[in-house]
Chain A
Amino acid sequence: MNRHFLDHYGEREVPRFFENLMVRGATDQITIYREQTESDGAGGMIKTATAGLAPQSIPCLIRGDNVKDGSKYMAADQMTSIAPYMLTFPLVYCDKIIDVRPSDRLKAAAREDLPARTFRVVSIKNMGVRYEAYCELENAL
């Protein structure tokens, strides 16, 4: 792992901080899903896998984005609502730099009374020791 840009704070303290929050039930846990596509032999595309990437069950702070408003609109012959969220999680977890991309999906596990939710990544910011992912949550979770 190329860690030359990470110091002890980023490698150890921040992951530990998130872990402590998770132990206290103060964070959600997310798993990163990456899309893969292949040809159907006639120019169409088949999504072959959406496997969760390691590390999984990453502690993550989920909050509604207070900058961008959600929206509700007609699309694809049905009413669609989009809610913006900001997900914050450590850059390093389980001794690995987390590989997350704007085309990924972040699936938050069910927690207490909340069902599992799929956050669709719009953009990712590497904030040095943590990621901030701007995501959308649809009406269909």
Chain B
Amino acid sequence: MSDLSQKIRTALFVKLAVSNVTSLATGGVHYRVAPANTNRPFLVFDRQSPGLVNYNFGFTRTHEDDLWQIRAVTDEDSSVAKSPQSLGEEILNAAITAIGLNLTLPDAVTWAVLRVRDIPNYTEKVSDRIVFHQGFLLRVVAAPV
């Protein structure tokens, strides 16, 4: 992972780990995996699809263009008032609002921070219940300054 991606990772976490998101995703926000003792619902994010690192003619890096995945993980026990499907959507909406259209990066700027597509929803079984995964891909174009 490049230094720029590390900065994006930190900036995304700062944007996502706010009360508007964590009041819904009570298990918190985690990079790639959640700790074993974390109860759902929670939010995970990861750099799903690293893009090309772009250079100018002098081989100076100009920008990086990556897709990040932001995914809500809920299960049947996550809420007694909402379905896990609805709760997952609410978490994602809160995440989209929280991220906004830019990230604050040290020694770098974002040229684009855009939700470009949703991921296909999928489910899996853990012990005696169904876990629901819903998420979206976020395109982040960032350039060092």
- Chain A: residues with CB nearer than 8 A to chain B? 35, 37, 40, 42-49, 74-82, 103, 105, 120-122, 136, 138-140
Known: A80-B126, A120-B127. A44 touches B86 (CB 8 A): yes
Min distance, Cβ B103 to any Cβ of chain A, angstroms: 23
State which residues 23-45 of B face A: CB under 8 Å: 30, 32-40, 42, 44
Among residues of A, the one whose C-beta sits closest to the C-beta of B76 is: A47
| Contact with B77, one of A47, A48, A78, A80 (Cβ below 8 angstroms) | A47
Known: A76-B40, A78-B35, A81-B36. A136 touches B128 (CB 8 A): yes
| Contact with B79, one of A43, A46, A103 (Cβ below 8 angstroms) | A46
Counted as pairs of residues, one from A and one from B, with CB atoms less than 8 Å apart, the total is: 73
- Chain B: residues with CB nearer than 8 A to chain A? 30, 32-40, 42, 44, 71, 73, 75-77, 79-86, 124, 126-128, 131, 133
Among residues of A, the one whose C-beta sits closest to the C-beta of B128 is: A120
A-B contact pairs, 19 of them (CB 8 A): A40-B82, A40-B85, A45-B76, A46-B81, A47-B80, A48-B80, A74-B33, A76-B126, A77-B30, A77-B34, A77-B73, A78-B36, A80-B36, A80-B127, A81-B36, A121-B128, A136-B128, A139-B37, A140-B37
Given A40-B82, A44-B83, A48-B80, 13 more contacts at CB 8 Å?
A: A40-B86, A45-B84, A46-B80, A46-B81, A46-B82, A75-B131, A76-B124, A76-B126, A76-B131, A77-B32, A77-B33, A78-B38, A139-B37
Q: For A103, what are the chain B residues with a Cβ–Cβ distance below 8 Å?
A: 128
Q: For A138, what are the chain B residues with a Cβ–Cβ distance below 8 Å?
A: 127
Q: For B82, what are the chain A residues with a Cβ–Cβ distance below 8 Å?
A: 40, 44, 46
Q: For A43, what are the chain B residues with a Cβ–Cβ distance below 8 Å?
A: 85
CB pair A44–B33 under 8 Å, yes or no, is no
How far, in angstroms, from A40 to B44 measured CA to CA in the complex?
A: 25
